[in-house]
Amino acid sequence: MKEAELQQHLHDLEDRLLHPDREPVRTALGALLAEDFKEFCTTGRIFNRQQLIDAFLASSPRPATMNHFYVTPLAKDAALATYHVTTPSSTSHHSSLWVLREDRWQLLFHQGTIAA
């Protein structure tokens, strides 16, 4: 996959994860998460794969936009995505480590940090 295609593909996947309420079948989002997924949330909580899937199922629509999205390829099967999320009440910085496994990109690690 070319770098521009990878950038768009991972942007689309991140957008799906940012807005799980838009998914016709929210449980399908689980396929985007690696089995050994971990997230350090902006709240300080640590989520594993199942906890995030549960959060997707319980989420409601929220006004959030993703800005300054950039992908840094790390290897042929790994990439780092960084971006900002803006809501009416906050801005946060995010980083995601994506890995290519079984011919599909999966999120292995994610961290969000509230902007100062």
pLDDT tens digit string along 67-93?
A: 999 999 999 999 999 999 999 999 999
116 pLDDT band (50/70/90 cuts)? confident
Q: Give dist(CA 26, CA 95) in Å, integer.
A: 22
Q: Identify the pLDDT of residue 1.
A: 82
Q: Give dist(CA 98, CA 84) in Å, integer.
A: 17
Q: What stretches of 1-116 adopt beta strand conformation (E)?
A: 33-40, 46-48, 65-75, 78-86, 91-101, 104-114
Q: Identify the pLDDT of residue 27.
A: 92
64 pLDDT band (50/70/90 cuts)? very high
Q: Give 25-42 pLDDT, tens digit per residue.
A: 999 999 999 999 999 999
Domains, the chain, ordered by start? 3-114 (3.10.450.50)
Please tell me the pTM assigned to this model. Answer: 0.94
